[in-house]
Amino acid sequence: MIRKSAKAWLAVLFLSAAGCSAIQDHCISFETSTRNCVLAEKGWLRWSSCYDQTDHKFHFAKGFKEGYQNILEGGKGCQPTLPPRSYWKPCYQTPVGRSKIAAWFDGYSHGAVAAQQDGYGNLQQLPISPTARSNWMSRQAPPSAACFAGMSEGEMAEPVEHPEIHTDPLPEDPPLDVLLTPSPAADETAPVEQLRPYDDSAEAK
């Protein structure tokens, strides 16, 4: 009985240790999404008075919050290709429904700009240590003049001649008339005797 309980406790400890990082990531994701929703609601309350004359303000506000959250999540605020699935219903496939979708897209862009103006453009960036930052900056900086001090005053090194390397000049190319094949002279050409067909009469004679 004691052995079975000990094995059970070991199994529980093993499983908890294996899934500890996954649980921690899930908790961080939940906390981040909750914080982004709260900040988006506060951002809309702060900027909503600027859009009192906007048509379909309810749908504009939904898009505003989505764009605001996109900046909080580290996005660039670009409009998505398609609206949310809630706008795919047949009731939005009318002129009025399309104007509501357009209001959502308009609110999305305004929300992204508002989040950047509120100072949340780099909220997802993790700070690095000063040592790592200085090392990175030193690599990006161009080399200073001190690195090349004294190099211009040094004497140029003479080329090293190896005894096994032949320094004889390469042979010149032969003249062009030697390379050309001479054409046969006109008087040296012998006439070619044409063959005649076999003549039975000549043989009979």
pLDDT in tens, 11-62: 555 555 555 677 777 888 889 899 999 999 999 999 999 999 999 999 999 9
Backbone angle region of 56, left / alpha / beta, with phi > 0 → left and psi within -120 to 50 → alpha: left
Contact 115, 68 (CB under 8 A): yes
pLDDT, tens digit, for every residue of 41-54?
999 999 999 999 99
φ/ψ (deg, to 5) at 131: -65, -45
Give residue for tokens 């357009």. Answer: 102
3-state secondary structure of 74: coil
**Distance between CA atoms of 195 and 197, rounded to whole angstroms?**
7
Q: What angle do CA 188, 177, 192 make, to 5 degrees?
A: 20
pLDDT, tens digit, for every residue of 70-105?
999 989 999 999 999 999 999 999 999 999 999 999
